Amino acid sequence: MTRKYFGTDGIRGYVGQAPITPDFFMHLGWAVGRVLASADANGRPGRVLIGKDTRISGYMFESALEAGLISAGVDVGLLGPMPTPAIAYLTRTFQARAGIVISASHNPYMDNGIKLFGADGTKLSDELELAIEAQLDAPMTIASQLGKATRVADAAGRYIEFCKGTLPWGFSLEGLHLVLDCANGATYKVAPLVFEELGAKITVIANEPDGQNINLNCGSTKPKFLQQRVLETGADLGIAFDGDGDRVVFVDHSGEVVDGDELLYIIAAYQHKHVGGCTGVVGTLMSNFGFELALKDLGIPLVRAKVGDRYVIEAMKDRDWKLGGENSGHIVCSDVTTTGDGIIAALQVLRAIQTEQKSLRHAKQGMPKMPQVMINVPMGKRQNLDENPIVLAAVAAAEAKLDGKGRVLLRPSGTEPVVRVMVEGQHHRLVEELAKLLAQKVAEALT
């Protein structure tokens, strides 16, 4: 069945344009309550947790979801601004029926949306999302016994202790100077406390959200300011989260960005050497070919899933592997948590370099990256590019020039109205030239 509202990562769009409206969110809360949190055999209402990032519209949508859930007879726990992975964790620990995150992740403040977690702290299955969509077609009714709403006062403290508890007893960051970029988003309170309580000296930037500056020239997608601050302060490294805290990228002491592929390599290499081995890693279609070669040198297999952390997690479960992620910085360490978590991934990287007494720059040297160029082409109209003869010919020509020493990938985004055109190969000039030519052909096909 085709999904009407849910994309690869929940529901997302521009605030005020359907479906990102208060009336839809109220109906959505009611539908979630009906599908996931009906009363148990003893008549006790289910409980759903609601968290959010720092967007100004989050307060409006929080109230709308709360009203919908209560009207369905569901109790609500309000967490306030918290990272997305914190809501996943707290959903499990509170034994809630579901967790709802109000966020548009790395998008600008004018966008918003929701992500849903089940009782086990993982993203909902396609079947449950379809069941919720089916319920949305029904008119809202008011339960005979309304739910109640309460604020969860100690949510941040619980999550901070959980993060620190994923490291061995006695582990310390003493002697490290870190610059943290909190993207003016959901990590702005908890991330500095986690790293400071572990002994690091920290400098914090982008930790003063005003409802409109989330992801604005900061965070994991725009680390330029972080690079500058690392160099200015002489810090050992910098860490940048995205607006809802499920992505992370690093900056080394020389100001160079270290992306998700390189961070995954550092964790995998550490596990291979120190933690009983790494059985395998799940990447995505966008994972750098150099990452695959570096893992192969260690004897660690790589499997590529579709882009999106839900697909990465599914592939990890299928193989019982414990590590996976995306080059964007979504990293899943399922031996300690259930979903992508920027803070926990950062701690795993720091554990690796502290244990081996290496700098971040030294630790990533085992993974030379192949030049990779990606161009986002606006999607004026949606069509199947696999059937377009002009695009197919352009792809074949690009692959011929790469001569088996690179990759071409065309992928419609699941979160934005664009087609991502990616070319990867040994020589940057050729890769850039081919990406531009191919993007031009795709743009012509989409207009």
Give the active site residues. Answer: 105
CA distance 433 to 375: 11
For residue 261, the SS3 value is: helix
Q: Are 375 and 436 in contact (CB under 8 A)?
A: yes
Cα(79)–Cα(260) distance, integer angstroms: 28
Tokens standing for residue 298: 């260690």
214/183 Cα distance (integer angstroms): 6
Cα gap 262→224, rounded to integer Å: 18
CA 76 vs CA 56, 59, 71, 89, 397: distances in Å = 21, 15, 11, 16, 56
* CB-CB contact of 323 with 315 (8 Å): no
CA–CA distance, 155 with 93 (Å, rounded to integer): 11
Q: What letter represents residue 356's amino acid?
A: E
CA–CA separation, 384 and 397 (whole Å): 19
State the Cα–Cα distance between residues 114 and 53, nearest whole angstrom: 10
> How many Cβ atoms sit within 10 Å of the Cβ of residue 430?
18
